[in-house]
Structure 1
Amino acid sequence: MTKPTVFVSGATGYIAQHIVKQLLDSQKYNVIGSYRNTEKADQLRANFKNNSHLSLVKVEDLGHIEAFAKVFQEYGPKLDYILHTASPLDFSAKDLENDMIMPAINGTKGIIQATVNYAPNVKKFVMTSSVAAVMSPLPADRDPHKKIVYTEESWNNRKLEDSLNNAYSAYSYSKTAAEKLAWELHKELHPKFSLTTINPVLVLGPQCFDSNAAGKLNVSSEIIDDLLHTKPNDEITNTRNGSYIDVRDVARAHLECITNDNLDGHRLILSEAKYTMQTFADIINKNFPQLKGKIAKGVPGSDKKAIEELPTVLDNHVTKELLGFEFKKIDEIVKDVIEQVLKVQQL
């Protein structure tokens, strides 16, 4: 019996590599992944030991509306599921609208249209969005004694003209606009496939392969690695904070969308709990005695009060009930990241 084929866009990305690994480890699927960087694609093939169930195809320009059409004209009839993880993330971009926002929008529009036109057997389309598409900027007149609650029904209300001041605002707008477009196109085109979007908070956890931990980590995990390069008397701030989720749980949620029909048509907020930088520092200093006295310790335990005072609440109980599995806790996540970095970088 032929295995179903899953297309993973942006297959060399941090989350996508874990998705590909879980797909291949299950031994249930063939995987076709897209990439832009040939060197990264070669490394991915090598890391997966040239697995015969993994093929990689080049998509040169994510923002070109026909980019995926060219690929799907050839591979579309083979595809059963689409996991669209690719999205531009370049905080050094100078032209925020053309380098970050429009590629995200055009990439989403292009791959959905290509799926409709050239991939008649696709049953499910899963899009990696972000909590940035859920949470709006805090209003200036908010009641400081009242929490702002976000759910799977919430949308970021940031306007385009307010999104071009800095890269993070542009990124938030790009994720919102791309996801809204996906839902609009799905309603307008009436495709045979279902749509589910996955909206993770800060994604942490080890790199899929040790070789990826040899230098600078991905943007999110780098904030944990940064603590290894502090000095004992450096300050640790609780002002850098938010919610976290493990990358392996994000990958698993994508696979669950393939097999669980109850997830069709849903937005899923992936979040376990909140953190501050002090949270990470406490875990590292407690679990890695070889680092004690060499890195910053801050004010142990001060994160608890800071977390309680955070003004926002992510209520994702609906997502957790739909997925039906427990997310990894921060202690396990931080320990796994640090153990990998210490092993590879020999600090």
Structure 2
Amino acid sequence: MSTTVFVSGATGFIAQHIVKQLLEDGYKVVGSVRSQAKGEDLKSLISKAGLKADNFSYAIVEDIAAKGAFDEALKSNPEVTVFLHTASPFHFDVSDVKKQLLDPAVEGTTNALNAIKEYGKNIKRVVVTSSYAAITGFGQLAIPGKTVNEESWNPITEKQALADPQSGYIGSKTFAEREVWNFVEKSKPQWDISVVNPVWVFGPAAFEVKDKSKLNTSNEVVGGILKAGKDKSQPQQYTGYFIDVRDVAKAEIIAFEKQDAVGQRLILSSGPFTTEKVVEILKKDFKDLPLPTLDESKKPDFDKSESIIDNEKTKKILGFKFIGLEKSVDDTVSQLV
């Protein structure tokens, strides 16, 4: 197979799984990274995993929000026929919501789409990683008990998004995805597009974890429990929906391989989770692990905060069964301990 796939933000948690699965499936991959050091590091992880490192190359894109960020990367790789855009900030450690979350997400997406239109002469399929954050409201905008599906949108405004980092992240995902569909409507590009909208993403890292103190933001749910067990402290308690990272990667690949996915938003959710449920799984499957006793009074109420997801259409298009919570948690923790 000689198809070459471009993966933006290739060192990210989800992106590394995409790179891994693409190489396993016989694709060639060009990944964008922020520096040569990060590119070489990823190449060595690929080698160590016994994958064909010769089929992976990288392009340096220091700042996805800089004008023309992806132009050179696509000019130098005219063989690319598929573009998977996964690069977007996901962290809450910010002092300026607009500058650190909203602008990079929206401008990074616009830069990628402009570069594909201008220089991706052979590109036929584009998949953008959005988020469940773009599907429904949270916090003040939550619609508990209301069913949402692939047609639903978060009604957040820019003013609401600037309130705090969490609202900023939610806004960044919503505005960046709106930008995608507006671009497609206005520009009528020669390529087809699909968007994936994952919920909280759990699961192990694609390659060996060198620094176990720095987990990706989603896995902090699990990491927080392990840390609280050690420190004899209280972890922050969460509730919501989860999907395993390996299923996200699989869905991204099916999204460009399958004609049924063209023009679709795909909600990736395996089912609900709570911190309490994760602790129960760990008690059962890791008997020697020190685990916290959760404070009942801090328990979040799923029914009072969460919308009901109907993603039957997505499941039908993808055609595979999602990994369950127990396997996802067990595989994550096995890698960490």
Q: State how far apart, in whole Å, the 1-side matches of 2:149 and 2:162 are.
A: 26
Match of 1:166 among 164, 167, 175: 164
Structure 2 distance, partners of 1:261, 1:33, is 24
Cα gap change, 1:307 to 1:96, in 2 (>3 Å): closer
Contact 1:199 1:269 in 2 (8 A): yes
Paired residues for 1:73-222 under 5 Å: 73-75=75-77, 77-137=78-138, 147-212=145-210, 214-222=212-220
Give me the CA root mean square deviation: 2.2
- Determine helix, strand or coil for the equivalent of 1:219: coil
> Contact 1:207 / 1:213 at 8 angstroms: preserved in 2?
no
Q: Indicate the SS of the match to 2:181.
A: helix
2:294 counterpart residue number: 298
Question: CA offset at residue 289 of structure 1?
Answer: 1.3
| Change in CA separation of 1:141 and 1:339 when aligned onto 2, cut-off 3 Å | closer
Task: State the SS of the aligned residue for 2:53.
Answer: coil
User: How many angstroms apart in 2 are the aligned matches of 1:141 and 1:336?
Assistant: 31
Q: For 1:226 and 1:253, how far apart are their aligned partners in 2? A: 28
Cα distance in 1 between the residues matched to 2:228 and 2:214:
15
Provide the C-alpha distance between the structure 2 equivalents of 1:111 and 1:236, rounded to a whole number of angstroms. Answer: 38
Please report how far the alpha carbon of residue 334 of structure 1 lies from its aligned counterpart in structure 2 after TM superposition.
0.6
Q: What are the superposed Cα offsets for residues 84-134 of structure 1, whole Å, 9 maximum, x if unpaired?
A: 000122422212112211111111111111111111111100000001111
Q: TM-score, normalised by structure 2?
A: 0.92
In the alignment, what sits opposite 2:315? Answer: 320
Instruction: Rate the CA distance shift 1:226–1:258 in 2: closer, same or farther, 3 A.
Output: same
Deviation at 1:230, TM superposition (A): 2.1
Query: 2:248 maps to what in 1?
Result: 250
Q: Tell whether 2:3 aligns with 1:11.
A: no
Between the aligned partners of 2:39 and 2:158, the Cα distance in structure 1 is 34
Aligned-partner SS, 1:155: coil
Q: Do the aligned partners of 1:213 and 1:340 also contact (CA within 8 Å) in 2? A: no
Tell me by how many angstroms 1:312 deviates.
1.7
* Structure-2 residue corresponding to 1:336: 331
Task: Indicate how the Cα distance of structure 1 residues 4 and 285 shifts in structure 2: closer, same or farther if over 3 A, else same.
Answer: same
Q: How many residues align?
A: 331
Kept in 2: contact 1:5–1:32 (CA 8 A): yes
Report the Cα offset of residue 309 of structure 1: 5.7
* Shift in alpha-carbon separation, 1:61–1:231, aligned structure 2, 3 A: closer
Q: Deviations over 1:24-70 (max 9, x none)?
A: 0111x110000114433221110111700000110011101211112
TM-superposed CA distance for 1:222, in Å, is 2.0
- How far apart are residue 137 of structure 1 and its match? 3.2
TM-score by length of 1: 0.89
**Aligned partners of 2:238 and 2:275 also within 8 Å:** yes
From 216, 219, 224, give the equivalent of 2:222: 224
Percent identity of the aligned residues?
Answer: 34
Given the superposition, is the C-alpha separation of residues 37 and 218 from structure 1 closer, same or farther in structure 2, using an over 3 Å criterion?
Answer: farther
Q: Which residue in 1 is equivalent to 2:281?
A: 283
Deviations 1:243-271 (A, max 9, x none): 00000000000110121110000000000
- Give the Cα–Cα distance (whole angstroms) in 2 for the partners of residues 89 and 296 of structure 1: 27
**Letter of the 1:62 counterpart:** I
Uncovered stretches (5+) of structure 1, i.e. residues with no partner: 343-347
